[in-house]
Amino acid sequence: MAEQSSTTITRRPLGSQGLLVSTQGLGCMGMSAAYGARDDEESTATVHRALDLGITFLDTAEAYGPFTNEILVGKAIAGRREEVQLATKFATEFDDDGTRHAVNGRPEYAHRAIDRSLRHLGTDYVDLYYLHRVDPDVPIEDTMDAMADMFMAGKIRYVGLSEVSPETIRRAHLIHPITAVQSEYSLFARGPELDGVLRTCRELGIGFVPYSPLGRGFLTGEITSVDDLAPDDARRGLPWFSPENIARNVAVVEVLKTLAEAKGVTASQLALAWVLAQDTVPIPGTKRRRWLEENAAAASVKLTTADLAAIDKAAPHGVAAGERNTPQGLATTNR
């Protein structure tokens, strides 16, 4: 398998606005939400290990909990803030007690959200602030005006968007430069290649940040049955993991595992190496040091042209059985 102890994570520009990040980031959502029981001690140790390995691009959001993940990440990076490129997000409106409302992209909520996130994170700025989801009832220009104000006030250093269409990217970019676009992207979810999002980002000099680059854990090869998921794991409700789809998706992963074994790496490392080869900065999520170290080793996996062709044959566009999210989840995207 790929050597883990000697893993060195380098840095690269994310977009063309000046932000330098680690070539691989860490998605922190699962430490506090969606993927089973929390273990704050191990999660904190995972953040510390990530920084030690050079994985300094950390991704959270006020919706993760809500608030609990920002608080955990803020505590974990205390004393090491200057090492970190810290990203968080807002969109769904929350009261301070965590009561959830609809997506709210109005400027007054945007300002309230950033101030609350800064308190929870224990910092006076975030490196990258994303609009997590577009509010269909608020012109993107209005939301971007608010984010531009945050930039001028020094509360955020760079602006990002999540799950947006090429048209929205272009409109937003006219108001304030967009540094990064985040969308789901993996061998199981290759939509950004087809809908013009990747092409638009490259044209405008915007970095692309894939979330769930391991297909919500499917591409690790560790999930062969829904019984492999905790009873309270939100993935039990996703189409890829449904009884009618899971066997077909496991069969695809088995082919990828064979390719990985031939190369002397794990399925996770092969899948991450493929995403890295697309000139992106993935943020695989984990709450355990074991998986963090395995993921980090993917940065040293080099894929040849023949490797990429074999992977593409095994996992072409649309290979995954089922949609990537529920109808309700897909309805919140701007794509």
- Considering the candidates 35, 64, 130, 185, report the single residue annotated as catalytic: 64
Q: 8 pLDDT band (50/70/90 cuts)?
A: confident
pLDDT at residue 6 is higher than 60: no
pLDDT tens, residue by residue, 165-224: 999 999 999 999 999 999 999 999 999 999 999 999 999 999 999 999 999 999 999 999
pLDDT at residue 5 is higher than 70: no
Instruction: Please state the rounded mean pLDDT for residues 328-335.
Output: 88
* Domain total in the chain: 1
Q: Please, are residues 293 and 4 in contact by the beta-carbon 8 Å criterion?
A: yes
pLDDT tens, residue by residue, 258-315: 999 999 999 999 999 999 999 999 999 999 999 999 999 999 999 999 999 999 999 9
Provide, rounded to the nearest whole percent, the portion of the chain with pLDDT above 90.
Answer: 89
pLDDT at residue 162 is higher than 90: yes
Two tokens, residue 37: 């029981």
Does a structural domain hold residue 3?
no
Task: CATH number of the domain at 195, please.
Answer: 3.20.20.100
Q: Please, are residues 292 and 42 in contact by the beta-carbon 8 Å criterion?
A: no
Q: 34 pLDDT band (50/70/90 cuts)?
A: confident
pLDDT at residue 42 is higher than 70: yes
pLDDT at residue 115 is higher than 60: yes
| pLDDT for residue 2 | 47
Instruction: Please state the rounded mean pLDDT for residues 131-159.
Output: 98
User: Mean pLDDT in the chain?
Assistant: 95
Instruction: Please state the rounded mean pLDDT for residues 11-15.
Output: 97
Does a structural domain hold residue 229?
yes
Q: 7 pLDDT band (50/70/90 cuts)?
A: low
pLDDT tens, residue by residue, 59-77: 999 999 999 999 999 999 9
Nearest to 143 by CA among 114, 116, 165: 114
Sequence-separated (6 or more) residues with CB below 8 Å from residue 248: 321
Q: What is the DSSP letter of 316?
A: -
* Distances, alpha carbon 315 to alpha carbons 41, 109, 191, in Å: 37, 41, 13
Provide, rounded to the nearest whole percent, the portion of the chain with pLDDT above 70.
Answer: 98
Does a structural domain hold residue 201?
yes
**Half-sphere exposure in the Cβ direction for 39 (13 Å, CA):** 11
Strand-pair category, 85-90 with 100-103: unpaired
Q: What is the pTM of this model?
A: 0.95
Does a structural domain hold residue 122?
yes
Does a structural domain hold residue 4?
no
Does a structural domain hold residue 6?
no
| pLDDT for residue 35 | 83
Q: Please, are residues 92 and 101 in contact by the beta-carbon 8 Å criterion?
A: yes
| pLDDT for residue 3 | 41
Nearest to 258 by CA among 270, 246, 249: 270
Does a structural domain hold residue 266?
yes
Q: Respond yes or no: is residue 64 known to be catalytic.
A: yes
Residue 131 CB coordination number (10 Å) = 28
Does a structural domain hold residue 1?
no
Strand-pair category, 11-14 with 19-22: antiparallel
Domain that holds residue 323: 11-331
